């Protein structure tokens, strides 16, 4: 039985095939390259498939795969996305801080550096309504104009007081131990009701 031998160009390993048709099939399927070497049963030496008389015509029809083109216009968006995410987080934190800063009036120091002058309630009681927050054990007690209200009712009760009295300023009298979440709810309600000014009176817990 005649036998054909195929090897990679310059390689030692040899693949034996029963006939030329198998070599031709391997060439067309891409298993062999036109530059691989072949040796037939009557050949005296190895020669490239593309120059062998039996396969030269078929090898010419096999087009080499085009080299992969590098797209120089491709833009890697990952660094840009990372920068945008960092800027987004920065803007969110900045806006959040600015909102809290607008909601809380920070007392200004006097030019003499003596601190904020004390405000007496009797001097402003005609234009303010009073919100008192105390701790009853572990439970915060909220009173608006001496009326105890639940945390969920702060906005409506404050709205009712403002509509009935016309007072748009507020005195917030609170214990130091009152949770910040309760204070935030009161400040949000005041902002929603367009309170013009908030005067703070903080007391230490007994």
**CATH code for position 127:** 3.30.420.110
Q: Is residue 70 part of a domain?
A: no
Would 79 be classed as within a structural domain?
no
- The boundaries of the domain holding residue 31 are 4-61
Give the total number of structural domains in the chain.
Answer: 2
The HSE-up count of residue 140 (CA atoms within 13 Å, CB side) is 23
| 98 within some domain | no
What is the average pLDDT across 186-196? 90
pLDDT tens string 77-135: 888 899 999 999 988 888 776 665 555 554 444 455 455 555 566 667 778 898 999 98
How far does Cα 198 stand from its chain's mean position? 36
Q: Answer yes or no: is 94 within a domain.
A: no
Taking the whole predicted model, whether its pTM rises above 0.95 is answered as no
């Amino acid at each position: 039985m005649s036998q054909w031998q195929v090897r990679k160009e310059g390689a030692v390993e040899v693949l034996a095939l029963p006939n030329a048709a198998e070599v031709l099939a391997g060439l067309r399927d891409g298993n062999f390259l036109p530059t691989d070497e072949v040796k037939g049963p009557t050949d005296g030496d190895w020669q490239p498939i593309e120059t062998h008389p039996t396969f030269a015509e078929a090898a010419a029809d096999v087009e080499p795969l085009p080299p992969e083109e590098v797209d120089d216009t491709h833009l890697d968006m990952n660094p840009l996305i990372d920068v945008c995410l960092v800027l987004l987080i920065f803007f969110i934190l900045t806006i959040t801080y600015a909102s809290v800063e607008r909601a809380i009036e920070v007392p200004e120091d006097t030019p003499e550096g003596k601190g904020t002058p004390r405000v007496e309630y009797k001097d402003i009681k005609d234009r303010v309504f009073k919100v008192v927050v105390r701790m009853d054990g572990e439970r915060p007690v909220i009173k608006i104009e001496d009326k105890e209200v639940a945390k969920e009712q702060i906005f409506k009760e404050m709205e009712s007081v403002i509509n009935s009295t016309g007072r748009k300023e507020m005195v917030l009298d609170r214990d130091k131990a009152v949770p910040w979440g309760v204070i935030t709810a009161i400040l949000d309600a005041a902002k929603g009701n367009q309170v013009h000014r908030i005067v703070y009176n903080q007391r230490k817990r007994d």
